[in-house]
Amino acid sequence: MSKRALITGITGQDGSYLAELLLSKGYEVHGLVRRSSSFNTQRIDHLYQDPHEPNARIFLHYGDLSDGARLVTLLSQIDPDEVYNLAAQSHVRVSFDEPEHTGDTTGIGSIRLLEAVRVAGVRCRFYQASSSEMFGASPPPQDEDTLFYPRSPYGAAKVYSYWVTRNYREAYGLFAVNGILFNHESPRRGETFVTRKITRAVARIRAGREKLLYMGNLDAVRDWGYAPEYVEGMWRMLQADEPKDYVLATSTPCTVRQFLQTAFDHAGLDWEKHVRFDDRYLRPTEVDSLIGDAGRAEADLGWKATVHAPELARIMVDADIDALECEGRPWIDRPSLSAWA
């Protein structure tokens, strides 16, 4: 019998890579998809299988983390072996604009899902997508024992989700774990996160479609890894003998400025000629430096990141250059200057 997994956030960057990974391991994959007036499934369209086919192994279900009753119904129907809670309003800057919505989705959404697991009586393993943003102002290096000091409504909502996940483990004996993941990126990264905003702009400037890129704080330090490696870590956490929380990170610091320079250099461009400052991209409170220590994940799970920021920047620039040269994909032609965050 193949295992069954439910992924919330399957249409996002991580959800799409995780769905690929689980399908490659023979899982039956179920994904929660928000109803939208236009299709939001671009990242998983290549995985689509007609549910009428007898051998179909991926199934999509309408639902939303704000709708607890729907979650109970789905959990009862699917009866999964593993649940990966990846859905969230995941943009830190936007969480200052929409703090209540972020709290409802990124925070309360997690307990709705945990309650659905409990009420439906499903015996599954549960993964919570926790974040290095929870460390916020705590100085690096950060590991599983570092104090949380969130600096945004998003970070605070993730701290809430972290603790309710631990609480359901301790209160109800649920195999529930937090993956505390540092930033991880890919060609599928949302276009308003800084790495993708940069690599899309590099491709467009190189092609002569734009001239300038407006940016916020270039001094922030992040620990950027490669998303496909991180979803492997998520899966390994749920295969472990006992439920524990783990940091996944590269341990390699990189400033936004260094990422910019590597990306522009790779395309043969001088970043200083094309980058301008705009304070709309600053946050009311910034997280200055995130550098993770993933020693526990390496020791217990045999997980170690191999792709670091410079290689990542080159992978993403190459992918955005290729995508721009692709015919017949109209969404690619959205100008990066209209990015909202």
CB neighbour class for 336 (10 Å; exposed up to 12, middle 13-18, buried from 19): buried
Q: Which of residues 47-66 bind ligand NAP (CB under 6 A)?
A: 64-66
Binding-site string for ligand NAP from residue 78 to residue 117, where x marks contact by CB under 6 A and - marks none: --------xxxxx--------------x---x--------
Choose the stretch contacting ligand G4F; rule: CB under 6 A; options: 35-43, 73-81, 136-144, 186-194: 186-194
DSSP letter (8 states) at residue 42: G
Cβ neighbors of 163 (< 8 A, separation 6 or more) are none
- Round to whole Å and give the CA distance between 64 and 331: 25
> Which residues face 254 on adjacent strands?
222
User: Of 16, 130, 131, 186, which is the active-site residue?
Assistant: 131
Residue number, 109 or 150, with CB nearest to ligand NAP: 109
Q: Which of 84, 10, 20 is nearest to 228 (CA)?
A: 20
Catalytic residue among 133, 185, 191, 229: 133
8 binds ligand NAP (CB under 6 A): yes
186 is catalytic: no
Min CB(267)–ligand G4F separation in Å: 18
| # binding residues, ligand NAP (CB under 6 A) | 27
Bridge partners for 131 per DSSP: 181
CA gyration radius, the chain: 20
Beta-sheet strands, E only, within 65-158 = 82-85, 125-131
281 binds, among ligand G4F, ligand NAP, none (CB under 5 to 8 A by kind): ligand G4F
Complex with ligand G4F: residue 132 or 161, whichever CB lies closer:
132
Distance CA 164, CA 187 (A): 32
Q: Is 247 in the site for ligand NAP (CB under 6 A)?
A: no
Q: Does 320 bind ligand G4F (CB under 6 A)?
A: no
Q: Is 40 in the site for ligand NAP (CB under 6 A)?
A: yes
Residue 256 near which of ligand G4F, ligand NAP, none (CB within 5-8 Å, type-dependent): ligand G4F
**Minimum CB distance to ligand NAP, residue 131 (Å):** 4
User: 290 is in the binding site of which of ligand G4F, ligand NAP, none (Cβ under 5 to 8 A by kind)?
Assistant: ligand G4F
Closest CA to 301 of 242, 233, 251, 250: 233
- For residues 193 and 147, give the distance between their C-alpha atoms in angstroms, rounded to a whole number: 25
DSSP assignment of 246-308 equals EEE-----EEHHHHHHHHHHHTT--HHHHEEE-GGG--SS---B--B--HHHHHHH-------
Q: Which residues sit at the interface with ligand NAP, rule CB under 6 A? A: 8-9, 11-15, 32, 34, 36, 40, 64-66, 86-90, 105, 109, 129, 131, 181, 183-184, 190
Q: Which residues sit at the interface with ligand G4F, rule CB under 6 A? A: 90, 92-93, 131-133, 182-183, 192-194, 197, 215-217, 220, 222, 256, 281, 283, 286, 290, 341
Among all residues, which ones are annotated catalytic? 131, 133, 154
